[in-house]
């Protein structure tokens, strides 16, 4: 029986992961389930999967979680330290799906066990690429990409011809504002921006899809995972979200992975890897689509792609600065403190303010993450004033 831990268990990816574990209860023992604030969801999952440990980042939720799990035999802990300790408990497979840079240290703690890490949390790899990859190598861990595009590329490289890869292509849905005018985007509300055309996801990544910062972060994530330079990672807008990623080989072959827009498919791929497991996810009915479109992205209406490529080329702390500033700007947009187009503006101004300082260590990454949050918050105050 394999032991598993789910970080970010109460979120969108976490719930899809729990759903798969519930369908194969006899094959997995759940070491730890880790959430942020949602005690009710965590308790329900922990009881269902008979988890050994249930942890919330929110310390004030301890009494509630303890009461919800009374008599269940599930151990309970709360607080940031407890999250990192739980992530570091030995498990054969860990889902890393805490959203944002908050997932960095727990993911690193899990990596140190040297087992399989199913990586959904792209921000960790974006802001601390070198630190994470060094930790993976030192521990002999296996990084299995969950993000649909990266999982697609990983699957399309299954024959391990990495040295014969010319380039990879990540697809993008284009988000809810794919065809919107700049005026419509300027006036966009959080409710409109959260309405993703093809995927059901958490709030932060949904806004990132709308600005296309999600695709920008994914270009950086792909560079880290597949060891490719920025010029070998293309993005194509593909509104149907049927093809998730492609690999172009030196002989001109283009290998793609397709599937329904259901994250249980890539999650199952990492859970069963190197084998496959059955899922109940809907099968693609290609004839129902009829036409699949592929369109070059518009970097004028969506400056996020240009900024992310700039950050990737600059390296050092720049990707961490971009990602942290974006987190702050997304939060401010969701609170209706700034407009939709201000998100990219805040990120660009923060990048311009902080330049390209070195960030070789975890401490340096955390320092520049904090600095970017401080500068972005100042920029937002200026917009609000
Ligand atoms: N959703 C998707 O389809 C995809 C997501 N991803 C990536 O996966 C990650 C998760 O996304 P998604 O599931 O959509 O996000 P959600 O917002 O739905 O879930 C986030 C999870 O992280 C938890 N969390 C938040 N802050 C903390 C913290 N400080 N400490 C511990 N746990 C915390 C939340 O807990 P709680 O809710 O209890 O507060 C929740 O369990 C992101 O990095 C995203 O980019 C990648 C590809 C696809
Ligand atoms: C499901 C997944 O992997 C998301 O990252 C998705 O790709 C978001 O959609 P966009 O392509 O609109 O960013
Ligand atoms: Mn993705």
Q: Could you tell me the distance, in angstroms and rounded to a whole number, from the CA of residue 117 to the centre of ligand 3?
A: 17
Three-state secondary structure call for residue 35 = strand
pLDDT surpasses 80 at 191: yes
pLDDT in tens, 307-326: 999 999 999 999 999 999 99
Residue 63 phi/psi, 5-degree rounding, is -60, -40
Given this model, what pLDDT does residue 206 score? 98
Is there a binding annotation on residue 115?
no
pLDDT for residue 109 is more than 80 = yes
> How far apart are the C-alpha atoms of 325 and 348, rounded to whole Å?
9
Distance between CA atoms of residues 212 and 193, nearest Å: 11
What span, in angstroms and rounded, lies between the C-alpha atoms of 6 and 325?
27
Rounded average pLDDT over 129-156: 98
pLDDT higher for 161 or 226? 226
How far does Cα 351 stand from its chain's mean position? 21
Average pLDDT score over residue span 350-354: 98
Evaluate if residue 160 carries a pLDDT over 80: no
CB 87 within 8 A of CB 94: yes
Residue 247, classed as helix, strand or coil, is strand
- Please report the ipTM that was assigned to this predicted complex: 0.99
Q: Residue 148, annotated ligand binder?
A: yes
89: exposed, middle or buried (Cβ count in 10 Å: 0-12, 13-18, 19+) = middle
pLDDT surpasses 80 at 87 = yes
- Atom 3 of ligand 2, nearest CA residue: 148
Query: How far apart are alpha carbons 169 and 181 in whole angstroms?
Result: 26
Question: Ligand 1 center to residue 370 CA distance, Å?
Answer: 20
Q: If you take atom 3 of ligand 1, which residue's CA is the nearest one?
A: 201
Question: Tell me, what's the pLDDT at 325?
Answer: 98
What is the percent of the chain where pLDDT is above 70?
100
pLDDT band for 159, please (50, 70, 90 cuts). Answer: confident
Instruction: Reply yes or no on whether the pLDDT at 76 is more than 90.
Output: yes
Alpha-carbon span 55 to 242, nearest angstrom = 36
Percent of the chain, pLDDT > 90? 97
Distance 7 CA to ligand 2 centre (A): 20
Strand order in the sheet with 116-119: 75-78, 53-56, 28-35, 2-7, 93-96, 116-119, 142-145
Identify the bridge partners of residue 2 per DSSP, sorted by sequence position: 28
Instruction: Report how far ligand 2's centroid is from the alpha carbon of 207 (Å).
Output: 11
Rounded mean pLDDT of 240-265?
97
- Average pLDDT value for the chain: 97
| SS3 of residue 31 by DSSP | strand
Please report, to the nearest 10 degrees, the dihedral formed by the alpha carbons of residues 18, 279, 98, 53 taken in order.
30
Which of helix, strand or coil describes residue 175? coil
Residues with Cβ–ion distance below 5 A, ligand 3: 147-149
**Nearest ligand, CA 235:** 2
pTM over 0.95: yes
Instruction: Please give all residues whose beta carbon lies within 6 A of any atom in ligand 2, as ranges.
Output: 147-149, 172-173, 175, 199, 209, 214-215, 263
Q: CA-to-CA distance for 149 and 157, rounded, in angstroms?
A: 12
Nearest atom within ligand 2 for CA of residue 149: 3
Query: Which residue's CA lies nearest to atom 2 of ligand 2?
Result: 148
Other Cβ atoms less than 10 A from the Cβ of 128: the count is 29
Residue 351 CA to ligand 1 center (angstroms) comes to 25
Q: Would you mind telling me the total number of residues written for the chain in this entry?
A: 385
Distance CA 211, CA 188 (A): 11
The preferred substitution site among 34, 40, 97, 241 for testing ligand 1, maximizing ligand atoms within 8 Å of CB, is 97
Secondary structure (H, E, C), 46-94: HHHHCCCEEEECCHHHHHHHHHHCCCCCCEEEECHHHHHHHHHCCCCEE
Q: Using a 6 Å CB cutoff, which residues line ligand 1?
A: 8-14, 34-38, 57, 83, 97-99, 102, 120-123, 147, 199, 201-205, 263
- What is the C-alpha separation between 135 and 111, in angstroms, rounded? 7
The reported pLDDT for the residue numbered 158 is 78
State which of 122, 202, 244, 308 you would mutate to test the pocket of ligand 1, scoring each by most atoms of that ligand within 8 A of its C-beta. Answer: 202
Distance of CA 11 from the midpoint of ligand 1 (Å): 5
Compute, in angstroms, the gap from residue 118 CA to the centroid of ligand 2. 17
What domains are there in the chain, each with its CATH number?
Answer: 2-145 (3.40.50.720), 149-261+288-300 (no CATH), 315-385 (1.10.1740.10)
Cα separation, 14 vs 8, whole angstroms = 5
Q: Count the neighbouring beta carbons within 10 Å of the beta carbon of residue 65.
A: 24
Q: What would the DSSP string read from start to end of 190-230? A: HHHHT--SS----HHHHHHHHHTHHHHHHHHHHHHHHT--G
Strand-pair partners of 35? 56
Q: Ligand 1 pocket check: which of 12, 38, 80 to mutate, most ligand atoms within 8 Å of Cβ?
A: 12
The answer on pLDDT for 192 being more than 80 is yes
β 28-35/53-56 pair status: parallel
């Amino acid at each position: 029986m394999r032991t598993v831990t789910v970080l970010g268990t109460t979120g969108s990816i976490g719930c899809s992961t729990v759903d798969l574990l519930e369908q194969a209860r006899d094959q997995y023992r759940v070491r730890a389930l880790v959430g942020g604030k949602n005690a009710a969801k965590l308790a329900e999952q922990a009881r269902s999967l008979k988890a050994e440990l249930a942890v919330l980042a929110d310390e004030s939720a301890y009494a509630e979680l303890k009461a919800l799990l009374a008599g269940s035999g599930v151990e309970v802990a709360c607080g940031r330290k407890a999250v990192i300790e739980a992530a570091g408990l030995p498990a054969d497979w860990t889902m890393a799906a805490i959203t944002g840079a908050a997932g960095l240290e727990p993911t690193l703690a899990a990596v140190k066990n040297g087992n399989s890490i199913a990586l959904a949390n792209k921000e960790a790899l974006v802001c601390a690429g070198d630190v994470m990859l060094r930790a993976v190598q030192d521990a002999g861990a296996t990084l299995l990409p969950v993000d649909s595009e990266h999982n697609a590329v990983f699957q399309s490289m299954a024959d391990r011809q990495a040295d014969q890869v010319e380039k990879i292509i990540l697809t993008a849905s284009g988000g809810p504002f794919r065809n919107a005018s700049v005026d419509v985007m300027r006036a966009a509300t959080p409710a409109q921006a959260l309405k993703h055309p093809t995927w059901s996801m958490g709030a932060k990544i949904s806004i990132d899809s709308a600005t296309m910062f999600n695709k920008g972060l994914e270009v950086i994530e792909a560079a880290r995972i597949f060891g490719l330079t920025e010029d070998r990672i293309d993005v194509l807008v593909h509104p149907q979200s049927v093809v998730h990623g492609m690999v172009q080989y030196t002989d001109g072959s283009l290998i793609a992975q397709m599937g329904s827009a259901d994250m249980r498919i890539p999650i199952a791929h990492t859970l069963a890897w190197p084998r496959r497991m059955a899922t109940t996810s809907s099968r693609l009915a290609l004839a129902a689509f009829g036409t699949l479109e592929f369109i070059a992205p518009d970097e004028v209406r969506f400056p996020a792609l240009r900024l992310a490529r700039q950050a990737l080329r600059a390296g050092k702390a720049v990707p961490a600065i971009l990602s942290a500033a974006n987190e702050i700007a997304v939060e401010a947009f969701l609170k209706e403190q700034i407009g939709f187009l201000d998100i990219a503006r805040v990120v660009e101004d923060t990048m311009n303010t902080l330049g390209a300082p070195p960030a070789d260590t975890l401490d340096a990454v955390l320092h520049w993450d904090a600095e970017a949050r401080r500068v972005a918050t100042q920029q937002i105050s200026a917009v609000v004033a």
